[in-house]
Chain A
Amino acid sequence: MQNGSKTKPLKVVGKPFRKVDARAKCTGQTKFADDIFLPRMLYCKILRSHEPHALIKKIDIAKALALPGVISIITGRDLPISYGILPVSQDEHALCIDKVRFIGDPVAAVAAIDEDVAFDAMNLIEVEYERLQTISSIEEGLMVEEPRIHDYGDGGNVHKKVSLEFGDVDEGFAQADLVREDTFFYEGNTHLPMEQHAAVAYFDTDEKLTLWSSTQTPHYVHRALAKVLEMPASHIRVIATPNGGGFGGKSDPFNHEVVVSKLAIISGRPVKCTLTREEVFYCHRGRHPVLMHVKTGVKKDGAITAMHFTSFLDGGAYGSYGVASTFYTGALQTVTYDVPRYKFQGARVFTNKPPCGPKRGHGTPQPRYALEVHLDKIAEELNLDPAKIRKAHLVKPNSVTANYLRIGSMGLGACIDKVVEGSDWKNKFVWNRDAAVPAADSERAGGMPAYQPADRKLPCGKGIGIACSSYICGAGLPIYWNNMPQSGVQLRLDRQGGVCVMCGSIDIGQGSDSILAYIVAEVLGIDPFDIRVVTADTDLTPVDLGSYSSRVTLMTGNAAIQAAERARELLTLAVAEKLQAPIENISFAERRVFDVENPETGVTFAEAVVLAESKFGTIGTVGSYTPPRSPGKYKGAGVGPSPAYSYSAAVAEVDVDPATGIVTVERIWIAHDIGKSINPALVMGQVEGSVYMGLGEVLMEEMAYRANRNVVHKFPSMLEYKSPTTMEMCDVKTYLIEDPDPNGPFGAKEVGQGPLLPVPPAIANAVYNAVGVRIDEIPITPEKVLKALREKDRGRNSRFGPESVPSIVWPEPLRVPTPAEGGDGRELPRVAVHS
């Protein structure tokens, strides 16, 4: 029985209530970080490096300091302590000290009486650089050992190398009827939240610091500030303001947050820094460019016997979440289709580009794209229907994968059924190996007659494709090692019947504040709009680790249920006593607490609180949530485990214009296994938003760099960084599959990230179905499609994509026997190798 299911029938959960903050957002009342104006506030501008890789020889701030209106200027020497989101990658300084590592690296910061003065002063700071060789690509990162961008990592400019083998993969390949190998590349892209990052700091006369910031992770910012500022954390208060979009891009502690804090301490005045859109591109932490190779052995029916996945990540200039990202490119291949033996090798390199990190789907959209297109190719080689091959070999619910991920509920089969039926797949799909260009275009195709295969079901140029995916509902482990809960909720009930729910979680638009209200309202039988929600304030709210890894609904939801059930218990005892009714008869609904056998006999919710407060004293309860322990015990087992996994399947129908190469996505059918919708309207919004973001990634979005020096961002602006407008967004048909998970609150699983994952490969597969060219590189731009079509016309390889992956020396893999082989989740002892 899942948490919260004692409450029946459901009055709030499953209903499309509006969000608790929706009206404020539609009337301009919501205060985002840049909306904060404090008396005597100073404005901060950060001077950023225009060199991609250089030693800082000298910084002269004299002219800038002399400018009237300038209050303070700081450089790296003022903030010598390093920080970073992961304990293993404390490689950032708020302002660079000796060296800059990418164009946009912060060098000095000015606080001035207004933004114009700060800007002018910033431009008066003189920095002398000594250029170093730049490292601009995965290949260079692997090959160029000196100069090193960082002096830590796995040698040269390799940040991290991972090598894991679960079961004997070679034996698996030997058992296969077909072994196929493919190579893919997924270009980097960025979050592009509409709100530019902003932070305001204030240091009061009691020497306490308050930071308001558009951050997804106030708790981690709190920890980083205490470290870098060398202040007790108890003197620092971090308030995360509502995020104007996050998508993972506001999950690191950022230099501007540290800088305004320091400037506030120095000046004794409030200091604000709002990044320009250009600076947001440099902040980045977006999707890693990943070069991938996948080798899979299958039986004739498509059953996988073994898989070997290799990924190379272009990490950019800093660690960020990169070690976790690297593991994530290899972790979730095993949770959709049964993979009995699995090997993963991954390497992340440093390059002189804006640092990559977590973007919606963190490290998994790239391998998912590769895997799902690869599987499509396998299905074609075996002449199997790509929907059927997927459905026939699903991971079983309540099982443990070869890499020790514990699967709970698993609704992917139902998802596949829905999109297959909804899209009329059976009447549209057929392998179109010779999918021809339309007749009208045959002249361009070298005068060849238009060829329509006899069994083609869709008109030429139109195609259909399918893909599936899965995502975690919260990371099993916190970012820094500890035994404490990942999420805490505190409830305060006042004698007038008011309920305040306090939690460290931060609403980034996904509706996490509302989820708290809905769940507490459900358990206490009140209206969600009766509840006051206080979130993301390290002085007032218990810790929640933040809005990342799709963890918030599951973890805060479970903590909220616990806190609310504890409050209900107190009220139940008091009301039962008053009504002289058995405890088990006491029920909560419609703002009343009453005897179920005699519903007229009862008290109002407010009276119930008075009774409870009279009996027990002030009513406050807490709840917390710690994910279950993962069965994996090997080194590297920390990335991938989750209390539950969501599943999605998508079918895309596309139109490809062979004259221009333009791909138009006409419709996406997507089914998502949500477990249980806490609010279906919000779930729909997350699915549609995920489809939108996946559409942008597959068709147009890319962090591109100029060819001349390859490390200058090509277009750090919203005009040139193409993202879908209303004119590009496709029609979406959504299906919600409810298969409650025992670990989810009321059975709920995540929806914020998972539905993005099947979109790029479904579209890539549909493009192939439409015009017979494989675009094994994201984004699928018109140029790539045209190039592949021209090659096809000439009778050459009709595939566009990387030819190979670099050959490097991998560490001896950590060998872990699988559960099927009787493994206990630990690696085998290393065998000494004598050479």
Chain B
Amino acid sequence: MIKGKVYKFGDNINTDDIYPGRYLSITTDRQEMARHCFELAYPDFLKSAKPGDIIVAGKNFGCGSSREQAATCLKYFGISVVVAESFARIFYRNAINLGLPILIAPEITKKVEHKDTLEIDLKKGIIKNMRTNEIIEVIPLPSFILSILNEGGLVPYLRKKLGITDKEGNR
């Protein structure tokens, strides 16, 4: 079960909004990526969002570039889950592969306000709005995708699948 405060966005939040192109030269330092989430397009985010927060957004969240930094920066900032009415496909894949939980919830922006508190059961696809007590049921993620998320992303998933046990790549 995930519980957190909502930081709310509208439709078509693109990856340039989430992670500005000028910081793409940061390729390996994930903590540094986290310091630039929404920096130019929504400067309030870095001032008021907190680790553990839940992002709620409208349609086509994460559209635009394939930059993985857009999902990485949110994960390392500490965002616990992104709930959107729909996702652009590369962001959707990146989030799963990096172990950043996401959920598709049609019309969520009509049912949830900025700073509401939500309780989310990813496996069952249940969202509870603690302010209104409304329970929102959505289609849970496919089991194949949940299995990657449960391992913490594609890297640990593949290590397990390939039977790699140590840093040197031994099986």
* A, B co-complexed: no
